[in-house]
């Protein structure tokens, strides 16, 4: 990455105010472009890129992976006389994409930070799966970023507009665009979210065409694209790590590997927003804590019986709700409460700081 000014990297007045006390200590701001190891990151500054090591103090004091720098984070750097820098602090995030990391323990993983808009990419081929999109929307709404749905590979589906109408009914208010990155169809419409200094992210399964979209937006081939397998229409990862890259028009793009599965890490608001229609219907349930199972007077089950609510959508909601509840009790109760408390505090902080 060249050496654009801080504003071109997405530095906002709110972040400048947050950084002011650190600047008085002789530190300078930078934005994490890529993480090479948990301790070493590539960071863009106003004077160019630098490799920066996480200060030992931050490593030892970190109570959670949420406390460590991620791609898109703004950090405070102290330059080393012989070259390189040390990350002394991570600035508060405006938004953060957090999922449950793979493994036995329930720990959060920050996929990207300080993202303004997330393009949720779903293929119009065998990848088309409204239930998976609902899960991705929970993650997006929880993050604080603005979601936009891209239904890609329109050239492979003669009923693309019908599929768009189907998805629009699920995500009322969220823009839904039909694209064919391979042919360039629909991509000019993304310009409204790609203004200078804005940060966008691409999230989707492997093989949905994210790398082709990235290449189109960049105007060059950053990633070699691979044909999907004919047997299951799935592709291999062409993006192997998360990276923040500048686009020709001045926006910044977080390119991410394909997500085989999104494990939720949520304090609940994303689930409620993603299932707005179900929440409205649930207001008519006899009991305020209705689980929409066998309880009498359940307005949600009545809506399913009357054809006003898709039973698959209710099943999806109940599955995601059960997953979040299981997350609450999977680990040691005290440790779980402390971890959830840190996440809730971070979530509340990013909501307050969302404005530029």
Q: Helix H segments across 210-332?
A: 210-218, 269-274, 276-282, 299-305, 311-330
CA nearest to 141, candidates 315, 41, 15, 267: 267
Phi, psi for 178 (deg, rounded to 5): -100, 125
- Whole-angstrom Cα distance, residue 270 to residue 333? 23
Taken in order 301, 141, 174, 227, the sign of the CA dihedral is negative
Spatial separation of the C-alpha atoms in residues 244 and 285, rounded to whole Å? 46
Q: What is the pTM of this model?
A: 0.83
Digits of tens for pLDDT over the chain (356 positions)? Answer: 445 689 999 998 988 999 999 998 999 999 999 987 778 999 999 989 999 999 988 888 877 788 889 999 999 999 998 889 999 999 999 999 888 776 556 677 888 999 999 999 999 998 899 999 998 999 899 899 999 999 999 999 999 999 999 999 999 789 999 999 999 899 999 999 999 999 999 998 888 888 899 999 998 765 554 454 444 444 444 444 788 999 999 999 998 765 555 666 666 788 889 999 999 999 999 998 898 988 899 999 999 999 999 999 999 999 998 888 777 655 545 555 555 565 556 555 555 555 45
Partners of residue 97 on adjacent β-strands: 112
- Residue 207 CA to residue 228 CA, distance in Å, equals 6
Collapsed DSSP state (helix, strand, coil) of residue 90: strand
H/E stretch holding 254: strand 252-255
255, two tokens: 């390119």
Instruction: Report angle CA 44, 98, 78 to the nearest 5 degrees.
Output: 30
Characterize 24-54 residue by residue with b for buried, 16 or more Cβ atoms within 10 angstroms of its Cβ, and e for exposed.
Answer: eeebbbbbbbbbeeeeebbbbbeeebbebeb
Length of the chain: 356
Furthest-apart CA pair in the chain: how many Å? Answer: 71
Domains and CATH numbers, the chain: 7-91 (2.40.50.140), 97-255 (3.40.50.300), 269-352 (1.10.40.50)
């Amino acid at each position: 990455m060249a050496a654009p000014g801080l504003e071109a990297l997405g530095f906002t007045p709110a972040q400048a105010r947050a950084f002011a006390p650190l600047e008085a200590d002789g530190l300078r701001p930078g934005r994490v472009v890529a993480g090479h190891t948990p301790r070493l990151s590539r960071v863009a500054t106003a004077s160019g890129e630098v490799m920066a090591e996480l200060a030992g103090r931050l490593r030892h004091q970190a109570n959670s992976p949420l406390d460590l720098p991620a791609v898109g984070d703004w950090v405070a750097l102290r330059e080393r006389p012989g070259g390189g820098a040390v990350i002394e602090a991570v600035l508060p995030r405006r938004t953060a994409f957090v999922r449950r990391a793979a493994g036995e323990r329930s720990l959060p993983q920050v996929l990207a930070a300080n993202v303004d808009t997330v393009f949720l990419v779903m293929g119009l081929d065998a990848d088309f799966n409204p239930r998976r999109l609902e899960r991705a929307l929970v993650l997006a709404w929880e993050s604080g970023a603005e979601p936009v749905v891209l239904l890609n590979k329109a050239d492979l589906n003669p009923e693309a507009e019908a599929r768009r109408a189907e998805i629009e009914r699920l995500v009322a208010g969220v823009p839904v665009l039909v694209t064919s990155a391979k042919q360039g169809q629909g991509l000019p419409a993304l310009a409204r979210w790609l203004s200078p200094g804005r940060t966008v992210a691409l999230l989707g399964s492997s093989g949905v065409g994210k790398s082709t979209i990235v290449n189109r937006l960049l105007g060059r081939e950053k990633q070699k694209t691979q044909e999907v397998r004919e047997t299951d229409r799935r592709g291999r990862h062409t993006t192997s790590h998360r990276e923040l890259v500048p686009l020709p028009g001045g926006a910044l793009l977080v390119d991410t590997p394909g997500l085989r599965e999104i494990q939720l890490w949520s304090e609940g608001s994303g689930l409620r927003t993603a299932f707005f229609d179900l929440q409205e219907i649930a207001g008519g349930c006899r009991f305020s804590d209705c689980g929409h199972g066998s309880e009498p007077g359940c307005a949600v089950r009545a809506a399913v019986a009357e054809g006003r609510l898709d039973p698959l959508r209710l099943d999806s909601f109940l599955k995601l709700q059960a997953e979040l509840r299981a997350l609450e009790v999977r680990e040691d109760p005290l440790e779980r409460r402390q971890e959830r408390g840190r996440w809730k505090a971070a979530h509340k902080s990013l909501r307050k700081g969302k404005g530029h």
